[in-house]
């Protein structure tokens, strides 16, 4: 409310007086007017008059610029706050993920020396190793040099589906692929084929992982203006609306996913790759009904 008033005030100040003046003059003129006024002055004052007119005209511009700057500052503060918040959440999750294996190691060390003890220490250190490996993947995907070629999304999608059929449980899902052939197939997109393949495999394996036997998993493709859109949809368990933003954060997982093995890094990884390709990844979900992941990839890069 206060923000709206803040934005309306400069508009009122700038437009108010001339509008009021115009209305008053109009009424006066209709009423017969007051006769002509002749203003006699020296030509030397013309520059002063011109300067004053320009200054008056500049007022709205200056005020607009000031509000725009204030708004940008506010948005920046908002983004910073969001970043800090995300970092805090990541650190607390990291803390949680590190605590358990370390606790396991320390507990095992306090136990009597035995094969069982060694096995526990080994298993817990493996957990730490794989956590570290997962975190590293994100960093690598964000920084590795992309090897760009013209990638055929249809061929890649078919191949990803073929790969996913080998995954345990995939045989019990109704997997289907819908890619356009008429009037023409999906156009090629510039991209790193290995990484884009990873995106599709990741998305499909999520769909398989978070659905039940008998559920449908669909991969659909279409071209729109300057993009190729790939949708990976399932009739699986879905995600509660309040948990939806969480799945995009490193190590963040929905509460229903806790019983299912996973790193909580699949979607952040996927988004990192898609964004490096100048695209977007959006997840829509209906709890108990399923989810649709929409990937939009540009058909050409402005800078390539």
Partner 1 sequence: MTPPTAPPSPARPRVLLVDDDATIREHLPPVLERSGLRVDVAADGADALRSIGRALPDLVILDVMMPVLDGRETLRRIRADHDWLPVILLTQVGESFERAAALDEGADDYLNKPFDPHELLARIRAVLRRTARGTAPLSAAGALRAGPLRIDRPARRVVLAGAEAPLTPRAFALLEFLMSHPDEVFPRERLLQTVWGFDAIVTTRAVDHRIAEIRRVLGDDAAAPTYLETVPGAGYRFVHPVERA
Shortest distance, position 64 Cβ to partner 1, whole Å: 46
Of the listed pieces 56-64, 65-73, 191-199, 248-256, which binds partner 1 according to CB under 8 A? Answer: 191-199
Residue 16 C-beta: closest distance to partner 1, Å = 59
| Interaction of residue 158 with partner 1, rule CB under 8 A | no
Tokens for 301, please give them.
Answer: 């890069």
Question: Which of 176, 175, 173 has its CA nearest to residue 213?
Answer: 173
Per this entry, what is the length of the chain?
304
CA–CA separation, 264 vs 248, rounded Å? 9
Return the residues of window 70-129 that contact partner 1 according to CB under 8 A. 125, 128-129
Nearer to partner 1, 59 or 109 (CB): 109
| Cis before 270 (ω within 30) | no
Indicate whether 14 belongs to the interface with partner 1 (CB under 8 A).
no
Q: Is 296 left (phi over 0), alpha (psi -120 to 50) or beta?
A: beta
Q: What share of the chain is helix, strand, coil (3-state, %, to 5)?
A: 60, 15, 25
Q: Which of residues 251-270 bind partner 1 (CB under 8 A)?
A: 269
Q: Which stretch binds partner 1 (CB under 8 A): 24-32, 43-51, 130-138, 241-249?
A: 130-138
**At its nearest, how many Å lie between partner 1 and the CB of residue 95?**
18
Burial class (CB in 10 A: 0-12, 13-18, 19+), 8: exposed
**56 contacts partner 1 (rule: CB under 8 A):** no
Which positions lie near partner 1, rule CB under 8 A? 125, 128-129, 132-133, 135-137, 139-141, 143-145, 147, 149, 159, 163, 193-195, 197-198, 201, 269
């Amino acid at each position: 409310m206060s923000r709206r008033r803040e934005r309306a005030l400069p508009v009122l100040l700038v437009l108010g007086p001339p509008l009021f003046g115009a209305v008053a003059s109009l009424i006066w003129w209709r009423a017969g007017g007051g006769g002509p006024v002749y203003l006699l002055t020296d030509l030397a004052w013309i520059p002063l008059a011109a300067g004053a007119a320009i200054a008056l005209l500049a007022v709205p511009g200056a005020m607009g610029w000031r509000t725009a700057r204030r708004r940008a500052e506010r948005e920046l503060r908002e983004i910073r706050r969001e970043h800090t918040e995300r970092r805090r959440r990541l650190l607390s999750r990291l803390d949680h993920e590190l605590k358990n294996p370390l606790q396991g190691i320390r507990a095992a060390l306090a136990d009597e020396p035995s094969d069982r003890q060694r096995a526990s220490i080994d298993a817990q250190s493996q957990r730490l190793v794989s956590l570290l490996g997962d975190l590293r993947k994100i960093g690598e995907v964000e920084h590795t040099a992309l090897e760009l070629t013209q990638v055929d999304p249809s061929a890649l999608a078919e191949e990803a589906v073929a790969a996913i059929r080998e995954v345990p449980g995939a045989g019990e899902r109704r997997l289907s692929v819908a890619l356009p052939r008429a009037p023409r197939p999906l156009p090629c997109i510039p991209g790193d084929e290995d990484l884009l393949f990873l995106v599709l495999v990741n998305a499909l394996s999520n769909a398989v992982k978070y659905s039940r036997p008998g559920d449908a998993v669909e991969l659909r493709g279409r071209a729109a203006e300057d993009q190729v859109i790939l949708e990976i949809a399932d009739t699986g368990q879905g995600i509660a609306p309040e948990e939806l933003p969480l799945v995009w954060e490193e190590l963040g997982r929905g509460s229903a996913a806790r019983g299912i093995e996973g790193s909580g890094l699949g979607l952040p990884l996927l988004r990192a790759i898609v964004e490096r390709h100048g695209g977007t990844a959006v997840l829509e979900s209906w709890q108990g009904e399923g989810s649709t992941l929409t990937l939009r990839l540009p058909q050409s890069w402005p800078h390539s």
